[in-house]
A and B are shown apart, each in its own frame.
Chain A
Amino acid sequence: MISKFNYVAPNNLRSALKFLSDKKTNSKILAGGTDIIPGFHIESKRFIDTELLIDIKKIPGLNEIKEKKDYVEIGACVTFSQITESDIIKQYFPLLAKAAETVGSVQIRNRATVVGNFVNNAPCADSVPPLLVYNAKIEIQSLTKKRQIDLQKFLIKPYTTALKKNEIVTKIIIPKPDPDLKGDFYKLGRRRAVAISRISLAVLMKKKNDLIDEIRIASGAVTPIGTRLYDLERFAKGKQANSETYKELAIQMGRLVLEITGLRWSSEYKLPVLQQTFYQLLERINSDEN
């Protein structure tokens, strides 16, 4: 059941921020609504007390993907469908484009926004692992301040971020990556569409003289939130880029995730599958490069 709330749709950012800065009103930002509306429906504690929904879709400029010299900006209202159709994204951030294609269904992708995906910060948010390996930053604005923060630092714990009550995430800023970084995204769900991720992985790798020169690894759904696995990246750096190493990395990944999550009801399925699929992903990136 959806409880009562007020709704506003300001046509400029300042006005939206004004509504947000009213400390007495329990307000929430509405973009695609694909988390909030079902959240209302299941009476999620995160949304049940909402008194005011501030729809930001009418604010000009927020629904644009902009290419700059060294980076690309994705506005707060850019939908997953826009991502999948954007040549800029496909060219510089193919993992993000691939992840976007796996989100929900066509109808959901037409509404859901990338920014909303990580502001909600569900463990299974499909856009998070790719954004993390691309070193995405985000820009946050309040009435009085504008700040930038690394996405990894913004994500705190499941369904919790560093966003303050009076702030809006206005855009994502992703630096164009080193063209020698090759990678892939992997998602496992219970079916091929409208599936919640059980495992998601994003990897970017650069080889030099058959050695792993640089590797960036991020996981979703198997860790409490989408996370860069820096320990694993350090472990990999400088090793031979071959099957032996990939298996070692996969085993190491299994240990790491077990350490982070402890044993859960799902571990006996997920952990071995995580190792196997991570190994597959590394082999695939390796063979794509050759």
Chain B
Amino acid sequence: MKEKFNVVGKPVIRQDGRAKVTGQAKFADDYKFPNMLFGVMVRTNSTHALIKKIDYSSIANDKNIITIVDANDIKGLKKTGLIRKDQPVFAFEKIVTPGDVVAMLVGENEDELRTLARKVKIELEELPVLTDPEKALDENAPLIHPEFGTNLIIHHPLRKGDIEKGFADSDFILEQTYTTPHIEHAYIEPECVIAIPLGDKGIHIIGSIQNPFTARRIVAEVINFPLNKVKVEQAELGGSFGGKDDTMCILSARAAVAALKTNRPVKIKYSREESILESYKRHPYRMHYKVGYTKDGKIKAMKIDILADGGAYCSMTPFVTWRSVVQATGPYEIENVWTDIRGVYTNNPYTGAMRGFGSPQIIFAQESLMDEIAIHLGITPDEVRRINGFRQGSITASGQRLENHEVNLIKVLDIACEKTNFKEKWLENQKHQNRRIPTIEFDEKIRNRKLILSKEEFVEPNEIWKKGIGLAVSFRGSSLGAEGIDAAAAYLSIQNDGTAYLLCGLAENGQGMRTTYSIIVSEVLGIPVENIYYLEMNTSHIPDSGPTVASRSTIMGGGAVKNAAEVLRKRFENFLREYWKLSDDDLIIFENGSVFVKGKEEINLSFSEFSNLAYKNGICLASIGWYQGPKIHWEEETGHGSAYFTYVYGCQVAEVRVNIITGEVYVDRITAVHDAGKIINILGAMGQVYGGVTQGVGYAIFEELDKHNGKPRELNFDQYIIPTSKDVGEIIPIFVEGKDEYGPWGAKSLGEPTLELTSAAINNAIRNAVGERYFNLPINLEEILLKRKPRPEDLKRGSL
């Protein structure tokens, strides 16, 4: 294992940073082509209905309409989906959720098309609407997709040990139910894509696309083209967080259909309202946990029943819930586990991938639960975690032995506790008994009277703000795990002046991987980072490396980049050994833009001179690197197997203040201790923590996409509240670099772990501050005071 690094772990300025902050970066909507047309969607006002007839006669002759495309124009598959093909490109049988699109108007004037889109007459036969996932499996529930015969999308069971014996061996049993809401990704750039017809050469797609290879596959299926005639190029992406996958595939397909029909470039760009209406969300979970434990704090049994609202389409539901089933018991060694997770169809907005991917929900539940056990037993929250937490060689709920990497759960916990003085603060806050929130009782019969306070109910000024501290820990499987094939490619080409081109088959979605990859090349070959030009992502230039998801850029793409650089280095060393007539024992060093022999520094070349020399000697200066994850296995019937080939560990401590008269929660500080393996790009890693924690704060206390008859209430950011920079206090990232045999020098995953812990840590801090436990995210003003969230009865905008 390499011990000394020249570039890895050092601050390196983000490669695309300057272009982005100076407005030079080219986002999808910045692309304009001659003769370009626009596509504008036609939707209905329905949530669930049969489509009887679509009548374009009122607009068909309008001069602004070049053409109208709908399902009849599709030559390939009319329905797509990454796992299950249940989502029509254009709805033709049914409307199953308000975001559904039945047709697209195509013309030169986007504004005029938007007016015309409302004039299409769509004859519908309304169907009963299903918005409550708990009713989805009822016998008389309306079927969202009747062809499957059930609203059940997926059921993941996991069985370990003897659950009944586990409860029998327990001194105490605790049962709790937790819920989490729909969450919008809230990327700053709404969806945009352009399809350009290339005649015999096929079609070119440019867009704000998270996963270009997935988009290529879907477009090819829909227009019935071979893969090599669909070229998907990624524009600079204005945020994704997992959100520009399925939606962008479908938009790309719609643009492609229209471009082929008109033989002109067609652009689709969404308003924020359309984006929130049609794009998928984070899954709402309802989680029932039953846990048995001894008086010493040892957990003997855990029974978990989870229901996930998949919404109108399958999307990633089977994979999201699979990550949940693997990690639902948390990073604790428990002998007896019985878990069931079901994902169901409803008429709500469909749900899919979002940063965290099935973990923020279960961590909110299970880490809240751990604190309850600690409080019940009179021990501190860190103690209950030390008693049960994973150590080297521990066995997970799915029966996997944790080995081949440092199991640093207790280490991250210890560091977090020490840095925050956790135990002392927690015990001090816990002592105060007069901290309770004056919960407002709302009784229908005497409601008016109750809303007027009595003098005794007023809180004195020095009693308003209560301080609390809370923590949460997690383990997380790196990369895709048993979801699918896990490999990535990278292309590295040195020019004969020593500069380089680099490209990986994964996509830059804002996570900073271009910089990370350039650092890796720089470390192996000594090329200064600024001499590496990261190429534009295009599916025709690089092998399919799977989707850019699951915090896999550094571990998988980084592995491929390192491999590409090492292949070249080996080749260069062989050449130099002969050229310089060195013995096998001589060590050739590539460092800081030069090449030399260790101990014989007089034998040296600048990397630029070397490249020219190698080129003139006929040495190939380019390589394709490949990195494949090790084999894993999974038994779906029992939930057994080595789910992921390695894991990361994290602990976050939240320090909050709660205003007990208004219900405001202010996060003073989050201390985030993460073992993400070797840190390659330190500024990028810190950025991941700042961003992830801020999203976690949003998840904890602000964000919720509420629905009215399946339709999102909050269609823009005046109503969908995400935290601003004023709403989060200090964030302190601390990295523990656990050793691992996988990934570049043992670098693993960080993007998602940063977000998944925050809401649980905040909930535990609130409990510590005010003595109340909350079960339903977000813990907003009303939740704090009322333990419920009253809502207006219609969709009108107004005072919030």
Binding site for B on A (CB under 8 A): 1-2, 38, 42, 105, 123-124, 188, 190-194, 196, 198, 221, 244, 247-248, 250-251, 254-255, 258, 263, 265-269, 271-273, 275-277, 279-280, 283-284, 287
Contacts and interface: CB of A to CB of B under 8 A. Distances in A.
Contacts of B618: none
Interface of B: 111, 114-115, 438, 440, 442, 447-448, 451-455, 457-461, 464, 661-664, 666, 702, 716, 718, 721, 723-727, 780-782, 785-786, 790-793, 797, 799-800
A248 B447 CA distance: 20
Contacts of B723: 191
Given A250-B458, A265-B790, A275-B458, 9 more contacts: A191-B723, A191-B726, A192-B726, A251-B454, A255-B452, A268-B786, A269-B786, A276-B458, A279-B458
A268 B458 contact: no
Contact of A268 (B451, B459, B721): B451
B453 A196 contact: no
Contact of A251 (B455, B781, B799): B455
A222 to B, nearest CB: 9
Given A190-B800, A193-B724, A268-B442, A254 B451 contact: yes
Contact of B452 (A191, A251, A284): A251
A92 to B, nearest CB: 27
Given A38-B718, A196-B799, A255-B452, A269 B661 contact: no
Contacts of A255: 452
Q: Which of B662, B718, B797 has the most CB of A within 10 A?
A: B662
B780 A190 contact: yes
Q: Which of A251, A273, A275 has the most CB of B within 10 A?
A: A273
A188 B452 contact: no
A49 to B, nearest CB: 15
Nearest to A246: B458
Contact of B702 (A190, A193, A283): A190
Nearest to B441: A268
A225 to B, nearest CB: 11
Contact of A272 (B448, B451, B721, B791): B451
Contact of B461 (A193, A247, A284): A284
B461 A191 contact: no
Where chain A touches its partner, the secondary structure class is helix
B63 to A, nearest CB: 16
B114 A1 contact: yes
Contacts of A279: 458
A280 B661 contact: yes
A276 B790 contact: no
19 contacts: A188-B662, A190-B721, A192-B724, A192-B726, A221-B799, A244-B455, A250-B458, A258-B448, A265-B790, A265-B793, A266-B792, A268-B786, A269-B782, A272-B453, A276-B453, A276-B458, A276-B662, A277-B662, A287-B461
A273 B452 contact: no
A265 B727 contact: no
Contacts of A272: 438, 440, 451, 453, 457, 785
A250 B785 contact: no
Given A191-B702, A254-B452, A269 B781 contact: yes
Q: Which of A42, A124, A263, A269 has the most CB of B within 10 A?
A: A269
B452 A271 contact: yes
B791 A283 contact: no
Contacts of B799: 123-124, 196, 198, 221, 266
A204 B115 CA distance: 51
B270 to A, nearest CB: 13
Contact of A280 (B454, B461, B781): B461
B718 A273 contact: no
A24 to B, nearest CB: 24
- Give the top 9 A-B pairs by smallest Cβ distance, nearest first: A276-B661, A192-B726, A271-B451, A193-B726, A193-B724, A247-B455, A268-B442, A254-B452, A191-B727
A226 to B, nearest CB: 12
A198 B664 CA distance: 12
Given A123-B799, A250-B458, A277 B661 contact: yes
Given A247-B455, A272-B451, A193 B792 contact: no
Given A124-B799, A196-B799, A269-B440, A258 B792 contact: no
